[in-house]
Amino acid sequence: MIEVLPENVTLDQVDIWFQDEARVGQQGTNTRIWAPKGTRPRVVRQKQFISAYIFGAVCPKLDLAIALVLPTANTDAMQKHVEEIIKYVPDGRHAVVVADKAGWHMSKELDWSDKISFLPLPPYSPELNPTERVWEKLREDDLANRCFENYDTILTACCDAWNNFVEVPKAVLNLCSRKWADLDN
């Protein structure tokens, strides 16, 4: 794991990526829904425990978002996600991945390439990670108030939600841009 930029990388070569993961499953999110005045709407709440994790990363500067839907959140899953991020780092560029300090983000077993560095967020600061807004958006638009029959329906719902989000032009740029992360200013 590299915690600082390599000596051969200058700031004009750096792209800031934000990374996080979200659990989606049978004990999902219930949100407010519209109902006629004076009525009390009912929403089904599942009691089963099947779930999946969306590992997502966004680069507002490039208006780019990538994700993997995986069955667990652990070091192996994070390694797969790091490898996926690396595929989108152009030659001659360097990615700084901003993420929280979850155990699988900080694992010494992770192989961070020379094209990518890890920048941990301070504890208890999810507001500094715009990927949290992506999860809110996915739940608001596609994943809340849902029942899932099995793992495959969860997987399909996660993929559909992510694809619906990234298909909107400038969705990442508009939802995830942070002035403090803009290295051009």
pLDDT digits (tens, 9 = 90+) for 52-84: 999 999 999 999 999 999 999 999 999 999 999
pLDDT greater at residue 153 or residue 48: 153
Task: Note the pTM of the prediction, 2 decimals.
Answer: 0.85
**Alpha carbon distances (Å) from 35 to 39, 41, 43:** 7, 6, 11
Superfamily for the 11-27+47-178 domain: Ribonuclease H-like superfamily/Ribonuclease H (3.30.420.10)
Q: Is 58 exposed, middle or buried (0-12, 13-18, 19+ CB in 10 A)?
A: buried
Q: Is the dihedral of CA 160, 125, 63, 170 positive or negative?
A: positive
Mean pLDDT of the chain: 88
Which pLDDT score, from 0 to 100, does residue 183 have?
A: 57
- Angle, vertex CA 155, rays to CA 100 and CA 55, nearest 5: 15
pLDDT greater at residue 156 or residue 6: 156
CA-to-CA distance for 64 and 102, rounded, in angstroms?
23
CA-to-CA distance for 32 and 44, rounded, in angstroms?
13
- Reading the block at residue 103, the tokens are 């155990």
